[in-house]
Amino acid sequence: MKLSKNLTLQECIKSGTAKRLGIDNTPKEKHVFSLKETANNIFQPVREFFNTPIYVSSGYRSEELNKAIGGSSSSQHCKGEALDLDADVFGGVTNDQIFTYIKDHLDFDQLIWEFGNEYTPDWVHVSYKGKHNRNNILKAEKINGKTVYSRFI
């Protein structure tokens, strides 16, 4: 099933952890609806602007899968509202370029510079709620072994 012109449902639900642990990561209809919204309002504009494949390292996560990987209990991945994008897989664009394009051109709920360094994140977390997007921009860092989020400046 296609969520947008260049993104399939399979790309958004694949998980080595789910497969290894026998966790069902099949989204409900409401989650698929949210994934389509996120794909068409975030993923597809990024894909078309850069005209290059963009890898989704994480999309929808069932609550069981999210718990197994140590995800936040309030993760928007569990609602089908979030994607983790990683340009390092296919090349042609950088994670910093993806982050900056989303920040400057798209409506989003949260945009997170996930780890990395001052030049580029390891991946880009972006969420989309449709209505009431907060356009909240954060940076995630490991400090003393814990993930700490701060406002992105």
Q: Report the candidate in 151, 98, 92, 86 with the shortest Cα–Cα distance to residue 122.
A: 86
Predicted confidence at residue 129, as pLDDT, reads 95
> Into which CATH architecture does domain 2-151 fall?
2-Layer Sandwich (3.30)
Of 75, 115, 72, 71, give the one whose Cα is nearest residue 95: 115
φ, ψ dihedrals at 30, nearest 5°? -65, -35
Per-residue pLDDT at 102: 98
Name the amino acid, one letter, at 111. L
According to the model, what pLDDT value does residue 74 have?
87
Contact 34, 74 (CB under 8 A): no
Q: What confidence score (pLDDT) does residue 87 get?
A: 92
Query: What's residue 86's pLDDT?
Result: 96
**pLDDT for the residue numbered 136:** 96
- Confidence (pLDDT) at 65: 96
Q: Name residues of the chain where pLDDT drops below 50.
A: none
| Residue 109 neighbours by CB distance under 10 Å | 20
CA-to-CA dists, residue 96 to 32, 42, 56, angstroms: 28, 15, 15
Residue 131 pLDDT:
84
pTM: 0.93
